[in-house]
Chain A
Amino acid sequence: MNAEENARIALTIGPVLYYWPRDVLLHFYADIAESPADTIVLGEVVCSRRHEMKTADWIALGRDLAATGKEVVLATQALVESDADLRVLRRIAEQGEFIVEAGDVSALNVLLDTGARFVLGPHINVYSRPALDEYASLGALRWVAPVELPLAAIGQVNAGGAPLPTEVFAHGRMPLAFSARCFTARHHRLSKDQCEFRCRDDADGLLLSTTDGQPFLVLNGIQTQSAAQQCLIAERQALLAAGVSRVRLSPSSTRFSQVVDTFDGVMNRGERVDAALISLDAMSPPGGLANGFAHGRSGLDWSAA
């Protein structure tokens, strides 16, 4: 085996994108603390109205997780609109204890002023090497590729040596779009300002299907996700060839620890892909598995490696 085949692929647990009750969330992270995950991204990145966890609560949780040996990252919101959003952003940028994942360009501007250590989140648009070089020159520690960027393109960005460690969204329902409008509230005929926090009822989002019954998207407040789960577990060689050194696993409400173990098994312990795929497929919610973006096709496509 050469060095590349032996390379460890680090596992990042992405932020919980749904609105889970506080005790559910804390149980979830207690499990993650025991998992082979390397890095845990904390924070509310979708909707500022969700209030079960304040910034101070995330920081306290971060300390607990850091004490178990995990690298902790605090993420900022993907869509920043109001003054209140900006205040939360500044609080995260100024906390000084944990690495920050920049959710948008507003965060980058604030982070440049505070001098905090930061990661380029998946919603910062990097589609080419010169764009990544621009952001690398700001002092970013690593980047998370946009979900629609094919592995071939990531390989081109990293050609001649990756300028920054590269992370790819490798498992879970994919964040595809953000809006000022809350689609969950709209479905319940509620206004966003009086939403009754109905997204709390949808532990993995609210399924949207075509009218001939094909699961298509998932409504998660102001965020729209894919119904299909991204699944790049069979792409280990392609990930390494593209210069990827980390994969992001996006939390789901059931058997997520098993997802983490399964990825660690295949990525880092030489376990068989076919058995892993069967188990991940069996665990997947309506919409099944997808890997089209990785291959430069429609994101919802699935093809066996």
Chain B
Amino acid sequence: MLQGSPPDLVCPAGSLRALKLAVDAGADAVYLGLRNATNARNFAGLNFDDAQLREGLAYAHDRGRKVLMALNTYARSDNASPWYAAVDAAAQYGADALICADVAVMAYARDKHPGLRLHLSVQASATTHEAIAFYRRRYGIQRAVLPRVLTLSQVGQVLRHAGDVEIEVFGFGSLCVMVEGRCALSSYATGQSPNNAGVCSPPSAVRWHDKPDGVEVRLNGLLIDRYAKDEPRGYPTLCKGRFDVDGTRDYAIEEPTSLNTLAILPELIRLGVRAIKIEGRQRSPAYVEQVTRVWRDAIDAAAASPGRFRVEPQWTATLAHLAEGQQHTLGAYDRPWR
């Protein structure tokens, strides 16, 4: 592989409209899920039925772009057939790759559709080249998406030993502070987690209550945060709430910030990252379009002259406007964050 060739921009499509806008705004690939618990953004009104899947694939392929299907939850013990059916659908309709986390799904895909390209989902929690090698030797994965817990130098370390497995990293969007695929916080509080239901802190468990001095938000009855009347409010993802530890009320786990890696884009390219993923299938089509456009410009600029790359103020302004809590962080890529 040519070192320094620009990475693919992989954008979220929670709907056909988002898919088209992402493709038009310059995504090299879009990723999407079916309308059930087989993917980690299993929200009402989101995702694709068969007809939309066919139309989305045609739209992207006609324009030379790729479609990756997220099948990144764990097959249920009572009925694995929706997961197998989703693998079959990906193969039948011509998805360019399957993004998967469960060895049951990978084994099925390997045996039934050996030509289908497999990407290891972030939900598989592969944090080292040894973990990636396991999925390569057993299931023939061709790309791995790294969890958002590694420093930049650890990402480099994985890349040096990844062999012919491509590496994809998160570039922008909501930040999971916990290792993905191994977090039971949501199911501890609500019974539903990313692994078992494709959701985290599900909307069905959220209740907002007006109080004389502001608003409080509860998740299945647990007080996640309290806002003064004039304070901006965020979605009550439970790890981003304010809690009491030893008499101090604080964001004890993580502030409501977004990940933004524009500042280290040339470094990610230099290390040999093959694809950069934008989080946010639950976001609006307009959000996806704007983020895609900024990242298209940024990747093109970094690829054209990495030495002269700088983060344009209008990119930052656009992304800051869209970001959760309107704050950005480099997350774990940056050592002090840890």
The interface of chain A, by Cβ under 8 A from chain B, is: 78-83, 85-86, 89, 104-110, 112, 123, 125, 127-131, 134-135, 146-149, 152-154, 156-157, 174, 176-183, 186-187, 191-193, 206-214, 216-217, 219, 224, 226, 292-293, 296-300
Contact = CB atoms under 8 A, between A and B. Distances in A.
Given A112-B134, A179-B178, A127 B77 contact: yes
Given A176-B183, A187-B246, A210-B244, A127 B76 contact: yes
Contact of A83 (B101, B157, B224, B250): B157
A300 B131 contact: no
Given A153-B76, A179-B149, A214-B223, A300 B127 contact: no
Contacts of B178: 177-179, 224
Contact of A128 (B77, B130, B243): B77
Interface of B: 74-78, 80, 101-104, 107-108, 124-128, 130-131, 133-135, 137-138, 149-151, 154, 157, 177-179, 181-185, 187-191, 193, 195-196, 220, 222-224, 226, 239, 242-246, 248-250, 252-254, 332, 335-338
Contacts of B223: 210-212, 214
13 contacts: A105-B135, A127-B196, A130-B108, A131-B75, A183-B252, A206-B246, A209-B243, A210-B223, A211-B226, A216-B222, A293-B188, A297-B191, A299-B187
A77 B334 CA distance: 22
For the complex, would chain A's binding face be called helix, strand, loop or mixed by DSSP majority?
mixed
Contact of B131 (A109, A180, A192, A216): A109
Contacts of A85: 128
Given A78-B182, A129-B77, 9 more contacts: A106-B128, A108-B131, A125-B195, A135-B103, A183-B253, A193-B335, A210-B244, A219-B252, A224-B185
Contacts of A182: 338
A148 B104 contact: no
A148 B193 contact: yes
B331 to A, nearest CB: 8
B75 A148 contact: no
Contacts of B108: 130
A232 to B, nearest CB: 15
